[in-house]
Structure formats: structure tokens, C-alpha cells
Chain A
Amino acid sequence: AQSVAQPEDQVNVAEGNPLTVKCTYSVSGNPYLFWYVQYPNRGLQFLLKYITGDNLVKGSYGFEAEFNKSQTSFHLKKPSALVSDSALYFCAVRDQGSSNTGKLIFGQGTTLQVKP
């Protein structure tokens, strides 16, 4: 079965420090991977995706993610965290069942807290 795991419920970093939010996946074929962010009382916003090509993917708001096939990971990173980055982050993998449904399978979410 396909799945996504975010091993940390919460990540705390100081403003200006680098941040990493971890994600590992399990799929039967080539993975299509996504990161979304959810600010309080808002819907999910797309940050970036990996489909193929370079292992380092750049996205919105200065975020990037590194695809590592051998470790089946897709960690979200940012060189210098901002207080405004504090939010709930979701990793997701595209369901690659027999039909092209476009469904995403989500991890449980990681709360990022950036302190001044």
C-alpha cells in the first residue's frame, strides 16, 4: 500500500536558522511527491512538487525539498526560517493505482513553530 509518513508532530526552530520538515514515502513505482502548507483557518496551499528530474526542487516562499530515492525521503527545507513560516505542513504522494485518479495520499502533518 502507498503511504506517506511525517515522523515529527512538531518542529521548533529559531528565526534565521535553517529548518527541515521530514517526510518519507512508500510507493510501488516512481513517486510523485508534494508539499502543502496550511496557515490557521485557511485551506492548504501548494508549495512544491517532485515529478522527475533534479532531486532538489524549489518552491514558493523560499522553500525547497530534496528527493532521496535510496532513503525514500522528501524532506522540506528552508535556509533561514521566518516567524511567518509557522504553520502546519503536509507531505503527500500521488496515488498510483490502476486508474489515474489524481488522488493524493497525505501524511499526518507537522506543525512548524518558528520563534523570534
Chain B
Amino acid sequence: DADVTQTPRNRITKTGKRIMLECSQTKGHDRMYWYRQDPGLGLRLIYYSFDVKDINKGEISDGYSVSRQAQAKFSLSLESAIPNQTALYFCATSSGQVLTGELFFGEGSRLTVL
């Protein structure tokens, strides 16, 4: 089983709809992140969280919100989806105990907004 699981893997929706992407992890990491991948732009950080009571904006948080329901769960919401939010979304985790540690990524959630 994957250490970082994202659902759904693929979603097609219409403009104005509310969408939630979910992420759960079994790595026991305290830090979780949501990134967005667009061709030619690499990955850009949307939100990140250090623990259940800690939520921080990344570089492109407008139009998104997150919820850290438990240490293992971090969900990303688009309250009113728009076409330019069509992208591949990745959840990632890291350990705050290893200051130079790498990020561990889920398989991604491909979102298409029509």
C-alpha cells in the first residue's frame, strides 16, 4: 500500500462546483503539503501544515482552502472551481524531525475543470 494516498486520482468537474481532494498518509510525518503541477511551471506550493492546528499559505493559495483533520489527513478544497485550476495536484509529507529530509509524494490527483 502507498504511504501517501490521494483520492480521487482523476476528476472532471464544471465551473463553479465545489471540489475536495483528499490525502492520507501512513508515514507518521507531521508535515503535509499540497502542490500543484502545471506543464513548464514545475510544482508550486498551495498550502502546508505542520500539525493539526497549523495551516500556512503557500505561493498560490488564492481560490483554495485546506483542512488538517488529523495528523494523517490533509484535504484540499476548491470552493468554486474555475478552468485555470485544471492541473495535477500532489500531496506530500515530510518529517519535522529530519531537518534536511526529503518530501514524499502521493500519486497525484488530476483535476479538469470545464
Contact = CB atoms under 8 A, between A and B. Distances in A.
Nearest to B56: A101
A43 B106 contact: yes
B52 interface: no
Nearest to A104: B103
Contacts of B104: 46
Give the contact-size bracket for chain A: 20 to 34
Contacts of A34: 102
Interface string A38-63: 00011111100101000000000000
Nearest to B6: A43
Contacts of A101: 48, 50, 56
Chain B, interface size category, equals 20 to 34
Given A32-B100, A106-B44, 8 more contacts: A43-B108, A44-B43, A49-B102, A102-B31, A102-B96, A103-B58, A106-B35, A106-B42
Contacts of A20: none
Interface of A: 9, 32, 34, 36, 41-46, 49, 51, 90, 94, 100-104, 106-109
Query: At the interface, is chain A mostly helix, strand, loop or mixed?
Result: loop
B42 A107 contact: yes
Contact of B105 (A9, A32, A44, A102): A44
Contacts of B35: 106
23 contacts: A34-B102, A36-B105, A41-B108, A43-B4, A43-B105, A43-B106, A44-B92, A44-B103, A46-B104, A49-B100, A49-B102, A90-B42, A90-B43, A100-B96, A102-B99, A102-B101, A102-B103, A103-B48, A103-B58, A106-B43, A106-B44, A108-B41, A109-B40
Given A43-B90, A44-B105, A108-B42, A103 B100 contact: no
Interface string B71-114: 00000000000000000001010101001111111111000000
Interface string B5-37: 000000000000000000000000001010100
